[in-house]
Amino acid sequence: DARVTQTPRHKVTEMGQEVTMRCQPILGHNTVFWYRQTMMQGLELLAYFRNRAPLDDSGMPKDRFSAEMPDATLATLKIQPSEPRDSAVYFCASGLVTGTSVEQFFGPGTRLTVL
Amino acid sequence: AQSVAQPEDQVNVAEGNPLTVKCTYSVSGNPYLFWYVQYPNRGLQFLLKYITGDNLVKGSYGFEAEFNKSQTSFHLKKPSALVSDSALYFCAVRDGTGRRALTFGSGTRLQVQP
């Protein structure tokens, strides 16, 4: 049963600390998405990659956030330095683009709390 | 730009009654439309999608959605609601070019009362 995995599931940190969230997409998927979910803003797209190349990261605060795909099995989202307003649930999703459409399969999320 | 509107923050329905969760969209060209469901403390799960073809799309757990091009709507429906259907439902849209990621609506919380 293939699924997207995310680590850690929960993270509590202090303001100013670096946070790294990891995602393992489903094997064979060529597209990876990072979303942030908050009560106030709902579900926001932060960045997405196709074939490991960033296609759109316009939703991501560039001064503190960075997203990478070191290889096809790992996507990372880093926040440095973290701020209390970054507290949210961060979801990774992966999909396979075949020319018509892509379904996105979501991971369970990383719940981040910045104190 | 593409956008999705879910006009209801919450929908309440009694178990056994039909349910409808509304969604309207705006996109250039032909839309690709999706419904996802989120249970508490879980990620989003795919329910169904419309790409082309029959306007009535059937999905998981007995849900279906009707694509209406003239009204730019894609309402989610189920003939008989279950208490276990209580969750947060998201409508999403993408244009046909494939250059954009999905744009999600704000979500509608469905509460099914026993």
Note the pLDDT tens digit of each residue in B12-51: 999 999 999 999 999 888 888 999 999 987 889 989 999 8
Residue B73: name the closest of B11, B37, B27 by CA: B27
Nearest residue to B56 (alpha-carbon basis) of B72, B77, B71: B77
Confidence of residue A88 (pLDDT cuts 50, 70, 90): very high
What gap in Å lies between CA A54 and CA B42, rounded to an integer? 26
- Asked whether the predicted pLDDT for residue A34 surpasses 90, the reply is yes
Between residues A41 and A65, the one the model is more confident about: A65
- 3-state DSSP assignment of residue B85: helix
Name the DSSP class of B8: -
Top residue of B37, B102, B104 to mutate, by most chain A CBs within 10 Å, is: B102
Q: What pLDDT shows up at residue B99?
A: 59
Size of interface A-B (CB pairs under 8 A): 49
More confident residue, A51 or A99: A51
Q: With CA atoms as reference, report the closest residue to B61 among B47, B79, B75, B51.
A: B47
Identify whether the C-beta of residue A46 lies closer than 8 Å to the C-beta of residue A89.
no
> Measured between CB atoms, does B50 come within 8 Å of chain A?
no
pLDDT at residue A101 greater than cutoff 90: no
